[in-house]
Amino acid sequence: MLENQVTADAFNGMSYREALREIRGALRDFENNSTGDITYSFFVGKGNRLLRMDTSISYNDAMYTGERAVSQGTCDFGASPKDRWVFSLTSTDSISSYEAKVIWDYKERSNGVESTLTIESSASDPVSLKLLWIPDSGDFLLSVGDRWNEYEVTGAFTADDKGFRLELDDLTGDPYMYLTIGITAEYGAQIGQIDYINLDKWGESLIEKLEDLFINIYSGGY
């Protein structure tokens, strides 16, 4: 990745060996100037099912702030497999405090299933990703949104002993523009010769064209 012209700028033009040397030096400094403790706690229920896992990390950063920082994380899998899963993280030091939470809900309906993933953070508004899927027909609705906007995509996913097919309908949401994507995979199909793109020659222009395409799609352009 570091040798790729498209991504090299993100690493200030460093080679692989130079970047590896910087990473090793940073880890060595952290090891020499920081001390701390990590504690894991596991809670199990019937059948040794994992109900919750708590992680507590505290360390003293003598190289930068000289203060002790504490991070705590909890993975709560509920009392039963059908309960919601909650992953939470808090991190506090003498300067700032940060909190984040990921909530996964799964419900079985009469004709399908509903799955919702919600991400909450003290640094931004909550974002939710919801999936409604009907296994018999393969039809699904995928929506993502926050408290300001919501975007929906419909499609179908079907699978059998021969392979699977994924269809996404009307990705733009624009009444004057209709874009669909279909992906089909067959088990045992032969993969032909792959012609790799010469990124050193025209990779940057390719990335720019893809960026323009997605900007036009999601801004309602043409």
Taking residues 1-18, what's their average pLDDT? 62
Q: Which two tokens stand for residue 116?
A: 């919702």
pLDDT at 75 over 90: yes
Question: What is the C-alpha R_g of the chain?
Answer: 24
Cβ–Cβ under 8 Å, residues 62 and 52: no
**11 vs 89, more confident:** 89
Looking at the DSSP bridge assignments, the partners of residue 210 are none
Domain ranges (residues) in the chain: 128-222
Kindly indicate the confidence band of residue 11, based on its pLDDT and cuts at 50, 70 and 90. low
For residue range 32-41, list pLDDT tens digits in order: 877 888 899 9
Taking residues 193-206, what's their average pLDDT? 60
pTM: 0.59
* DSSP SS3 for 10: helix
Cβ–Cβ under 8 Å, residues 77 and 52: yes
pLDDT at 94 over 80: no
Kindly indicate the confidence band of residue 109, based on its pLDDT and cuts at 50, 70 and 90. confident
Q: How does 46-62 read in b/e, with b if 16+ C-beta sit within 10 Å?
A: eeeeebbbeeeeebebe
Position 29 scores a pLDDT of: 83
Position 101 scores a pLDDT of: 93
Degrees (nearest 5) of the Cα angle 10, 11, 13? 105
Cβ–Cβ under 8 Å, residues 72 and 90: yes
Mean pLDDT of the residues in the chain: 80
Cβ–Cβ under 8 Å, residues 103 and 117: yes
Position 23 scores a pLDDT of: 84
Taking residues 139-159, what's their average pLDDT? 86
For residue range 157-181, list pLDDT tens digits in order: 988 888 888 888 877 666 777 778 8
**93 vs 39, more confident:** 39
Phi-psi region of 114 (alpha: psi -120 to 50; beta: other; left: phi over 0): beta
C-alpha–C-alpha distance, residues 47 and 171, integer Å: 44
Kindly indicate the confidence band of residue 67, based on its pLDDT and cuts at 50, 70 and 90. low
Taking residues 201-207, what's their average pLDDT? 59
Kindly indicate the confidence band of residue 4, based on its pLDDT and cuts at 50, 70 and 90. low
CA of residue 83 relative to chain centroid, distance: 22
